[in-house]
Amino acid sequence: MNITHLECAACGLRHEAQRLLNLCRECGKPLLVRYDLERAGRSLKKESLAGRRPDLWRYREVLPVADDANIVSLGEGWTPLLKTERLGERLGLQNLFIKDESQNPTQSFKARGMATAVSMAKELGANKLAVPSAGNAAGALAAYAARAGLECFIFMPRDTPRANVVECEQTGAHVTLLDGLITDCGAEVARRKDAEGWFDVSTLKEPYRVEGKKTLGYELAEQSDWSLPDVIIYPTGGGTGLIGMWKAFDEMEQLGWIGSQRPRMVSVQAAGCAPIVRALAEGKRFADEFPNATTVASGLRVPRAIGDFMILDAIRDSGGTAIAVTDEELLAAVAETGALEGVFCAPEGAACLPALRKLIADKAVTPAERVVLFNTGAGVKYLESFS
Ligand SMILES: Cc1ncc(COP(=O)(O)O)c(C=O)c1O
Ligand SMILES: [Zn+2]
């Protein structure tokens, strides 16, 4: 294994790897995994990838887990990057793509993070896992915990889409529905975890979910012949995918695979819950909690994110932006993308389309630029939103 240590994303403090850790012991911010990339690069080469397994473990040297026997997999990652000609034509863009994450196990990109987090939890000896979730992370944890033979405890808002509740129940999880938001569910896990012996796998409160999510960045590069797009549009709740891609780009540069050029990172949020959009507009490094959060895009109903500063840093460093779209706009985009391209997006993923329209109207995207929209989940899990 090529991990050297864990490093606090805020204060830089070094922490030992191969221990069950949550946040930085000094400042309480997220820990990131650091690798000996020179060592990793000896066997991980662009040319060596061609015959490797068609899932995210193809990037094995830059992923955690010391013993291969601890890898818990359901075939996550290596999803298609679809060229969307008809949608592109409608928008006047020549190079528009959708990274279709609905094709993951449990039908969302949350499978990536849970594959690596559950594998590590298993390796480091946790046997009860707990998570607060807006829905899709719960479904993914339930499946991977079952696959690993571990117990899991899930806390979701009572009004989470029914598919998420049912999938957790049918894959053996203990499910608790609370009156409140994901932040209230997180507080409940934090309050009970020590007494119950749970390991908290809240996103960015343990170091390994972001490692699975970062493979989105490796895949984008590999699927585009090792060049990155000009613009990435990403529906942002906790922001783990965006933070992970940003980390992957730096790692790939250190591996000598790409140059210093970066895509412009665009965060999309729902108008009813847009803490990052607001913080960016106000020039803040940390985002205030967004009051009275509401949106049908349940994965975007995250009023406060522990990785807020990492999202905002990536947006600013990349010359990107953050855009809010209404529920009406994002729901209309589900049907539009479905009818034009055959991809039945989750409302969160569909939100990228109205955000792109705003960028085009502002002349912030030009016709030949390569733009990637992230469809992070499957519309079929949100049937109650399409009555
Ligand atoms: C379908 C979907 N898209 C996007 C998000 C937001 O993801 P992130 O927390 O990585 O910002 C979620 C989170 O629940 C989700 O379920
Ligand atoms: Zn710290």
Q: Please tell me the predicted confidence (pLDDT) of residue 36.
A: 98
| Confidence check: pLDDT of 387 > 80 | no
pLDDT digits (tens, 9 = 90+) for 229-268: 999 999 999 999 999 999 999 999 999 999 999 999 999 9
91-112 average pLDDT score: 98
Sign of the CA dihedral with 309 first, then 314, 319, and 320 last: negative
- CA 78, CA 92: separation in Å to the nearest integer? 28
Q: Which parts of the chain fold into alpha helices (H)? A: 37-43, 85-91, 110-123, 136-148, 162-170, 182-196, 209-223, 240-254, 275-281, 308-318, 327-341, 347-350, 352-361
What are 135-168's pLDDT values in tens digits?
A: 999 999 999 999 999 999 999 999 999 999 999 9
In this structure, which ligand is nearest to the CA of 243? Answer: 1
Pocket residue to mutate for ligand 1, from 99, 104, 133, 136, most atoms within 8 A of Cβ: 136
How confident is the model over 104-117, as a mean pLDDT? 98
d(CA 158, CA 140): 18
Mean pLDDT, residues 199-207: 97
Phi, psi dihedral angles at 358 (to 5 degrees): -65, -40
For residue 1, the CA-to-ligand 1 centroid distance in Å is: 29
**Ligand 1 atom at minimum distance from 213 CA:** 10
* Atom 13 of ligand 1: nearest residue by CA position: 299
Work out which ligand 1 atom sits closest to the CA atom of 240.
10
State in Å: Cα 268 to ligand 2 middle. Answer: 28
| CA-closest residue to ligand 1 atom 9 | 238
How large is the average pLDDT for residues 43-62?
A: 96
Report the SS3 class of residue 370: strand
Q: What is the pLDDT of residues 277-296, one digit of tens each?
A: 999 999 999 999 999 999 99
Three-point CA angle 144, 265, 231, nearest 5°: 105
Q: Considering the chain, what is the average pLDDT of its residues?
A: 98
User: Atom 16, ligand 1: which residue's CA is nearest?
Assistant: 299
Residue range 321-352, pLDDT digits in tens: 999 999 999 999 999 999 999 999 999 999 99
The pLDDT confidence band at residue 171, using thresholds 50, 70 and 90, is very high
The closest ligand to the CA of 7 turns out to be 2
Q: Specify the ligand 1 atom closest to the Cα of 243.
A: 10
For a pLDDT cut of 90, what percent of the chain falls above it? 99
46: which 2 tokens? Answer: 């662009």
Q: What is the predicted pLDDT for the residue at 240?
A: 98
CA distance 135 to 297: 10
Provide the pLDDT for residue 1: 87
